[in-house]
Structure 1
Amino acid sequence: MDILFVFLLCSVFLVVMFSGYPVAFVLGGVAVAFAALGTFLDGFSVDADMASLRMIGFVANRIFDSISSYSLIPISMFIFMGMMLDKSGVAERLLKQMHKVLRVVPGGMAVSVILIGVVLAASTGIIGASVVLLATIAMPAMRAAGYDDKLGLGTVGATGCLGILIPPSIMLIVMGDQLQIPVGDLFRGALLPGLLLALLYIFYAVFTAFRRSDLAPAMPVDPNSSVGDMLRGLVGSLLAPLLLVFAVLGSIIFGIATPTEASGIGAAGATLLALSSRRLSWSDFQEVCENTAITTAFLFALIFGASCFSVVLRGYGGDELIEAGLHAIALPPIGTLIFILGIVFLLGFFLDWMEIILIVAPLVLPVLTSLGYEPAWVAILLAICLQTSFLTPPVGMALFYLKNTVPDVTISQVYKAVIPFIAMQVGILLLVLAFPGLVSW
């Protein structure tokens, strides 16, 4: 009977989700409907604790547990920090100064975009904002410099997604809360893989420019700027955001502050940065607060809905069914891990990262930890897999952000542009899989 209800629960969820309703409401609505059904079916279960998980009251308690979760507080602060940095004009100033310094290098503009993306990723962790901002300021400049659209679109789209891995990352905060792993451990573990991925992007851009100089041509030296002036301008543009990044990440990595406290430091620092640039008006501040509230509410709606769904799924024995199925596969532990990562990678073609983290990850992590794998290492492997979900068609969100910001390109052009970068993400995944020390350092 429980197997039948697990099948019905998942089937109804998939049917309603692909009908076009918002995912947060689908998750919560289906969960509440089956919780109400379970209230009248608790007599079918010989396990009283299992039956109690189906009750409407338990679903309501789960929502209040999510609201009061201390580990989710940084979400709103980091979103505010990202929105405020967008208003401060940091990215525009950095691109202008880096272009002056690197313009004589083949692929220098692409390298500048990637470096700016790293700074934005370490400052915000908001993918949509990073992709749109980079596309807005970088694509016109790259086209003016004679760059090929394919290289430009791929660089901007992939670089904007670095914020999903380089801390502070909203995804890592949600993952830490759902998987009961300290967020600080995830931040430390994701730092090296994220930076290695950025270095791989830079190598690809430079290699492409040297192989085909017409795709990423070097620009002549600006006769009106000396090397000293360019370096001073670059240092002046980099100093404030790097200090902010060090204050946020350094305080977490060295154990000075918790992620929650560091998020407050970041929000305050971003506000001071915007004020010092003389680009923050009262209306801008109100807009940042409103956008932060809307984005946070959207994320929490997904968290509430997925929490209800996962607890009802466990109430019907779905977690035990999945665990038994994975253990029944005649594979060694490493084979089971690769099999699960492959499933998560394929799910990224059709589902957003939030649904995968909130529904799939809590079900598969206990299986992998029971095989002896370190939870933080497994979580980072899942995070790298999920990063590809932003770039893989047909529902990669970064692709649609990019298409809407650069309307004169087709979606097929965007799809083709990101293929090399998806391959590089898979390469980093295999590297971390082979060398766990990149996470556990």
Structure 2
Amino acid sequence: MAEFVAEYALALLMIVTLLAGIFSGYPVAFLLGGLGIAFAFIGGIPIPFLGTVGSRIFGGVIENWLMIAIPLFVFMGLMLERSGIAKSLLLTLQRLFGRTHGGLAVSVAVLGVIMAASTGIIGASVVMLGLLALPVMLKQGYHPEMACGVIAASGTLGILIPPSIMLVLMGSILQVSVGDLFKAALIPGLLLGVLYIVYLLVTARLKPDWAPLADPDAIDADTTPLPLALARDLLGPVVLIVAVLGSIMAGIATPTEAAAIGALGSLLLAALMRSLDFATLRDAVRDTSRTSAMILFVVIGATCFSVVFKRLGGDSMIEEMITGTGLGPYGLLLLVMGIIFVLGFFLEWIEISFVVLPLLVPVVELLDFGYGMSGQGLMIWFAILVAINLQTSFLTPPFGYALFYLKGITQGQIGIGTIYRSIIPFVLLQLTGLILCIVFPSLVLWLPGLI
């Protein structure tokens, strides 16, 4: 043990310093880049070596055409969030499920799945669902834990169900096709949605006081026949989903080209909903710029940190720590998933993706899980498992961002303790989905192999 610490002292110190810096609240992008440069000098790394960091940043990040998809998908999500489509669809779904205990909660979960396939922006999805559904659910008599839990969990589906920014970045990190990642994530994402709905219906049946029936007069306020209302409110999102995901899966467009189609489609939908004006467009462009800049700066800082960390032996340290456990392939996989799950309590998915993922990939590539998986198929399966795992990072305290978004919406009406308790069953459901995808890899690999 002493020899291990002595050999990898600087690499271990980098990790400790990074965690301390994150808890201090210092901006992560500057923290990653600054630590990379500082430890390059502390470790006596030659100055010319830092030139490779610049080359990596320009060659791997700035010149990466795949990165263009990020602001386009962000813009698409923001425009849809402001178009008013979600509000109309929620009211129609409430009419569809409203005469069932838990019907409104199921409507929120279904809307979360639909908007996840249209937006992929966690903050926008949670805030939108919270503003639309939370007052209605509380007024109808829903237990706050059920209301908060379904809103937070459904809002985070956008990070997994394509088009997902996380999958775009993972494709760049792992050097695998983003189109294949989108195909692979579709069934696991829908599986989580189904698990949420089953849980809500069972809970509503066992605890009907947690999910009372809606007022029939409120449900029937819209006199449009239900089939026509569903067709009216679903048509726009479905057309956009088919245009974006369908063009990628059919091989007609690259993810970047499909993102451009989605951005244009969201503008057209906003115009059709008569919600497109200069103020809306200005706000969407401004928020897109902020989000994209934040992601880009974290990627640049993480690139600098990773290059120096590897030069100091960090990759060998991680590999030795994991493979030295003596566990088999599935034991090591569970260990890796456990590490990522725990890191999700304290780190954002961007830092985990860009700092931790490149260090774990060499270990996973050496493992034989059977099922004939190797190369690209193995990396796609592993990427989706990590993506499902990282979705929990938005829900787990103390730094679950979906919880803070929801807390801001409640304006003090619901305590943070209630919100924390509300997400426990949904985190367990996400872990159940993760275990199912580990035990049955075909849930992930069937669709990419079919198309």
TM-score by length of 1: 0.94
> What residue identity is the alignment partner of 1:287?
D
Picking from 1, 5, 12, the partner of 1:7 is 12
Is the Cα contact below 8 Å between 1:28 and 1:304 reproduced in 2? yes
Match of 1:57 in 2: 51
Aligned partner of residue 88 in structure 1, secondary structure = coil
Equivalent positions of 1:418-433 (< 5 A) are: 418-433=423-438
Query: 1:229: Cα distance to partner?
Result: 1.0
Match of 1:88 in 2: 83
Query: 1:345: Cα distance to partner?
Result: 0.8
> What residue identity is the alignment partner of 1:379?
A
Q: 1:204 to 1:41 in 2, by over 3 A?
A: closer
Q: Tell me, in whole angstroms, the C-alpha distance in 1 between the residues paired with 2:237 and 2:404.
A: 28
Aligned partner of residue 168 in structure 1, secondary structure = coil
Q: Tell me, in whole angstroms, the C-alpha distance in 1 between the residues paired with 2:247 and 2:368.
A: 31
Query: 1:10: Cα distance to partner?
Result: 2.1
Picking from 378, 382, 393, the partner of 2:382 is 378
Aligned partner of residue 423 in structure 2, secondary structure = helix
Deviation per residue, 1:114-164 (Å, 9 max, x gap): 111111100111101100010001001111222111100000000000011
Q: Tell me, in whole angstroms, the C-alpha distance in 2 between the residues paired with 1:97 and 1:76.
A: 31
Is the Cα contact below 8 Å between 1:128 and 1:401 reproduced in 2? yes
Query: 1:219: Cα distance to partner?
Result: 2.4
Is the Cα contact below 8 Å between 1:114 and 1:201 reproduced in 2? yes
Match of 2:70 in 1: 75
- Residues 1:22 and 2:27 are matched in the alignment: yes
Query: 1:227: Cα distance to partner?
Result: 8.6
Task: Name the Cα RMSD after superposition.
Answer: 1.7
Q: Tell me, in whole angstroms, the C-alpha distance in 1 between the residues paired with 2:17 and 2:192.
A: 38
Picking from 379, 387, 391, the partner of 2:391 is 387
Q: Tell me, in whole angstroms, the C-alpha distance in 1 between the residues paired with 2:437 and 2:348.
A: 23
- Residues 1:123 and 2:96 are matched in the alignment: no
Q: Tell me, in whole angstroms, the C-alpha distance in 2 between the residues paired with 1:102 and 1:437.
A: 32
Query: 1:76: Cα distance to partner?
Result: 0.5
Match of 2:211 in 1: 216
Q: Tell me, in whole angstroms, the C-alpha distance in 2 between the residues paired with 1:85 and 1:413.
A: 30
Picking from 130, 142, 165, the partner of 2:160 is 165
Which region of structure 1 is more displaced relative to structure 2, 404-413 or 215-224? 215-224
Query: 1:287: Cα distance to partner?
Result: 1.2
Is the Cα contact below 8 Å between 2:340 and 2:390 reproduced in 1? yes
Is the Cα contact below 8 Å between 2:95 and 2:220 reproduced in 1? no
- Residues 1:280 and 2:280 are matched in the alignment: no
Give the percent of matched residue pairs that are identical in Structure 1 and Structure 2. Answer: 47
Unaligned runs of 5+ in 2: 1-5, 370-377, 447-451
Query: 1:41: Cα distance to partner?
Result: 4.0
Unaligned runs of 5+ in 1: 43-50
Q: Report the number of matched residues.
A: 430
- Residues 1:151 and 2:146 are matched in the alignment: yes
Q: Tell me, in whole angstroms, the C-alpha distance in 1 between the residues paired with 2:45 and 2:392.
A: 40
Deviation per residue, 1:13-37 (Å, 9 max, x gap): 2222222211111001111222344
Q: Tell me, in whole angstroms, the C-alpha distance in 2 between the residues paired with 1:16 and 1:224.
A: 54
Query: 1:261: Cα distance to partner?
Result: 0.7
Match of 1:245 in 2: 241
Q: 1:297 to 1:226 in 2, by over 3 A?
A: closer
Query: 1:337: Cα distance to partner?
Result: 0.7
> What residue identity is the alignment partner of 1:185?
D
> What residue identity is the alignment partner of 1:167?
P
Q: Tell me, in whole angstroms, the C-alpha distance in 2 between the residues paired with 1:159 and 1:64.
A: 36
> What residue identity is the alignment partner of 1:104?
R
Q: Tell me, in whole angstroms, the C-alpha distance in 2 between the residues paired with 1:397 and 1:10.
A: 23
Q: 1:224 to 1:413 in 2, by over 3 A?
A: closer
Q: 1:283 to 1:383 in 2, by over 3 A?
A: same
Q: Tell me, in whole angstroms, the C-alpha distance in 1 between the residues paired with 2:250 and 2:277.
A: 35
Aligned partner of residue 210 in structure 2, secondary structure = coil
Query: 1:5: Cα distance to partner?
Result: 2.2
Q: Tell me, in whole angstroms, the C-alpha distance in 2 between the residues paired with 1:84 and 1:12.
A: 39
Q: 1:238 to 1:312 in 2, by over 3 A?
A: same
Deviation per residue, 1:238-288 (Å, 9 max, x gap): 111111011111111222211111100000000000011111111211111
Equivalent positions of 1:221-232 (< 5 A) are: 221-222=216-217, 229-232=225-228
Match of 1:45 in 2: none
Q: 1:33 to 1:111 in 2, by over 3 A?
A: same
> What residue identity is the alignment partner of 2:141?
G
Aligned partner of residue 209 in structure 2, secondary structure = coil
Q: Tell me, in whole angstroms, the C-alpha distance in 1 between the residues paired with 2:321 and 2:94.
A: 54
Deviation per residue, 1:156-180 (Å, 9 max, x gap): 0000000111011111111111121
TM-score by length of 2: 0.92
> What residue identity is the alignment partner of 1:262?
A
> What residue identity is the alignment partner of 2:382?
V
Match of 1:141 in 2: 136
Q: Tell me, in whole angstroms, the C-alpha distance in 2 between the residues paired with 1:353 and 1:175.
A: 11
